[in-house]
Amino acid sequence: MRQLSGIDVSFLNMENRSTYGHVSSMNLYDPTGTPGGAGLAATKQIILEQLGTLTPFRRRLVEVPLGLDFPYWIDDAEFDIDYHVRHHAVPPPGTPEQLSEVVSRIHARALDRRRPLWELYVIEGVDEGRLIAQVTKVHHAAIDGAAGALMLAALLDLSPDVRDVGPPAEWKPEAVPTERELLQRTLVSYLRQPDRFVRHSLHTIREFGRNPQSGSLGALADLVVQPIPGPLGNMMRRRLRDPERRSEDRPPALPITAAPRTLFNATISPHRRFAYTTLPLESAKDIRRAVGCTFNDVVMALCSGTLRRYLIEHDALPSESLIAMVPVSIRTGAETDVFQNRVSAMFADLATNEADPLTRLDRARKAMEGAKKNFAAIPAEALMDFTQFAPPAVAARAMRMYSRLRLADRGAIPFNLVISNVPGPNVPLYMGGAELKHFYPISALVDGQGLNITVQSYTGSLDFGFVADRELVPDVWRLTDMLEASLDELLAAVRVTPGPDAPAAPAARRASKSASKSARRGSQGTPKRQR
């Protein structure tokens, strides 16, 4: 039995009727020549064989009574592979748009907390039956991006040769602890660290509350403080009202920065849209070499150009630049449990108010450099400390109130969207002999940020996944067209011509792109205007 960390629990607390704490991916496999490869039966067998290594796949939550402490993971005695691995199909001819509709609906369903927090869908009929898609949903409370890569490595092979699948891994289920046992553990935990609980809760709430730009975040801090009863609550309220605390008692201020509102910065609905596309990795490297920047700088510039085009098309480009939150891994390699969250974040200017692509790239590069040098990322240990000592029941209540009161529509927002760049393997991978062709990430949305862009590199490709609120960004496929246009613009600006060996977009995407583009424009409607 292992207790969740504060970071883990924050992804549980974020969930409400329209916000989900899981992250997903859509993998496309080519089973040509390997009947059954990446299919339902083979996938179940491979997971069962690796279940001894894939601990998040067999662990379920045990909640502490009244939310007095963080939940625990236990190995589920009632684990059922048939519940978690499911079969699906798309109607003929299995175009990317048809597949994305299926994936959007799968992604827009919360995971059942009474079971291990993951699901895997094997989807047949893709690209006229030539490809198989797998959609994997795993709760962010169980893994971060690095842990997800480790899980993928455990399931896939480096060779197309179909290996013999061994017997199911042996592992020992755990008995569900009683409420009395959980409360005893909670009492011991509070007795060991009461001072740290008060100190870290106070300084973080105070930073939120006293920042004049925090807007709705200040209201959220009030929701956290007011319900706490007894001497602890009285102390926290007195200290929150004290603006003259010595500066040496306070850690660095949280990086709360006002960002301009856009079409997708509002309270989100429970529904999602997903779109995906692939760019050649070598083209991004050509730009990096020509300009002398990092690979991540190029990705940020591509996203910046895409967002600028999209907002101009909808006559909604703010005069101020958009701000992106960029997740950052804080893993040291010394973690005792590799399947946990070790992630922080930094905030970067996207230069969307700059017309020239090279100047935009230079500004994005300087913004990323400044974020790193000035430690604009929330300090890793401070973030871990804060989340470790926020009372779970109070934090969950605060997040529900935040959504119910639609505070995302009123106060200032710290950033416009999350952009994440995940490095992936540079060699082909296989499942049951079927080659993995593309790996498209699908991330989470929260109130106030109705669009997310995540990119994964894999064997010469950059696989982009766009997930958006269905009402705020109904024409999400337009972003894929604009991403490709942004790449062409940067290549032209640095006078680089893509080589003849540069990978093209996926076959299914190419085949349907021209035929479906006009239909998409006519059927998806117009995004909601700013509220």
- Written as six digits, the tokens of 139 are 């709760």
Q: Give the whole-angstrom CA distance, residue 299 versus residue 350.
A: 11
Asked if 423 contacts 328 with a C-beta cutoff of 8 angstroms, the reply is no
Paired with 456 in beta bridges are 422, 463
Contacts of 288 by beta carbon, 8 Å cutoff, 6+ apart? 294, 295, 297, 298
Please provide the size of the chain in residues: 531
User: H-helix or E-strand containing 60?
Assistant: strand 59-62
Task: Give the count of beta carbons closer than 10 Å to the beta carbon of residue 128.
Answer: 13
- Amino acid 328 reads V
User: Considering only CA atoms, which of 154, 10, 24, 160 is closest in space to residue 70?
Assistant: 10
Residue 140: active-site member: yes
**Location of structure tokens 């119910």:** 404
Options 84, 107, 139, 140, the catalytic residue: 140
Burial of 73 (C-beta count, 10 Å sphere; 0-12/13-18/19+): buried
Long-range interactions of 189-195: CB distance < 8 A, separation 24+: 189/69, 190/69, 193/389
Alpha helices in 374-506 (DSSP H): 380-389, 392-404, 477-493
State the Cα–Cα distance between residues 75 and 56, nearest whole angstrom.
9
Residue 467: name the closest of 269, 262, 259 by CA. Answer: 269
Tell me if the bond preceding 96 is cis, omega within 30° of 0: no
Residue 426 phi/psi, 5-degree rounding, is -105, 15
Q: What distance in Å separates the CA atoms of residue 179 and residue 175, rounded to the nearest whole number? A: 12
Residue 178: which residues within 8 A CB-CB, separation 6 or more?
A: none
The distance of Cα 82 from the centroid of its chain, to the nearest Å, equals 26
Residue 110's SS3 state is: coil
Closest CA to 305 of 342, 271, 353, 347: 353
Q: Cα–chain-centroid distance for residue 494?
A: 32
Q: Which residue has the tokens 């827009």?
A: 108
Residues known to be catalytic? 140
